[in-house]
Structure 1
């Protein structure tokens, strides 16, 4: 895999900046990169000065355009970036909900990839689901893979509609995990633990469990769960509640469906 010869990043918020950091860490030459952001942060200005990539230069066609703006900003942004697209440009969009048809109607490009990274990308531990439309070549897919792998794992889906499901599971998923920490800490407080201690215990438990998953990829989450659970013990008593027909699995399915539906709504 290799980087595009020229690369334009449109939008340098949290996710755009995470991708940019991943490219620089992967050795992409800063001179290949142009970042376009109407209100660059001081940290972005400082990084541009340090690393040498172009910040808000005059528009020029790039081999790859990465679109990392909020869904509601697409119309306004699209009107001003047409000159970034040449005959062989491909578009990599990380905008939630905006379909290939939405994007092709607003931008002069045929090769379009939709991707959904997640916030652990900021520490290089993200995972990104990505779809490529039929106009995307194998070389363009490979270059998109390179751009996304700088912030974590990459998983391809063959139907565009599945990107909304990816959004619901891994895109929004970190928030579910963070809320689990909050809920576990609150449960501890209700059991009489000091609030700060309950939070430390909950946070360390989720951090450690995630690291165990990371370090033992050959062992399924189901097996890891069973390894902690003694028949008739304390963990089993708790799991009897969580695994009831109306328990955590059903609640998570409802939550993910709500997220998927919202992603569909954003396509309008």
Structure 2
């Protein structure tokens, strides 16, 4: 097991060994439903995104027989699996089983209720060039006419977007919070995100925000929106990151003074 773990950590080994090691360590691939095999999950993602096996061959450089073997039997090399995941726009990340920030079905693409989107935009009153990097079903974009937007499922990959913006307002997939926040800070001076507040206070997160020249300007506490939003027991907030901000953090509990009405 020690040798196998070492091999897996270095991207080597077979998918079956990878499954055995991650199970023993209590780990799972983020966003993969527990009741679905790796192969079934990759095939479902490929089909949902309208990508044929032939197109995946072109994107990944992996042969069609290898892709078919992985999709139908989860057999093959870990390196091939990771290459296919990246070609599908997935990030090969592991997380420990237990309480999660994402729904139990492994899908943290949870759309913003339109009353909440309207409330957030009315509060911050963004102006100038605006960007919604996680378009989803368009709740925020509807409230920001003329804004630019990205959405991986619509062929606009945010991580390939390099335009500048004055404001970014979004509800990001929480499993990609670190990567999305880092890219946001390269593009805009004002960033507003709906996140769980516990994710703000890690040493690495605070350092990354500071090193990028940003600071938290405002935190508004909100109730967790109704289902299908995941209930994690963690406080959800709307956080405003501002470039060059040196003042105090404004903390507001809008649950009591101006609650969002979802009906």
The structure with the larger Rg is 1
Q: Which has the higher helix share?
A: 1
TM-score when normalising by structure 2: 0.33
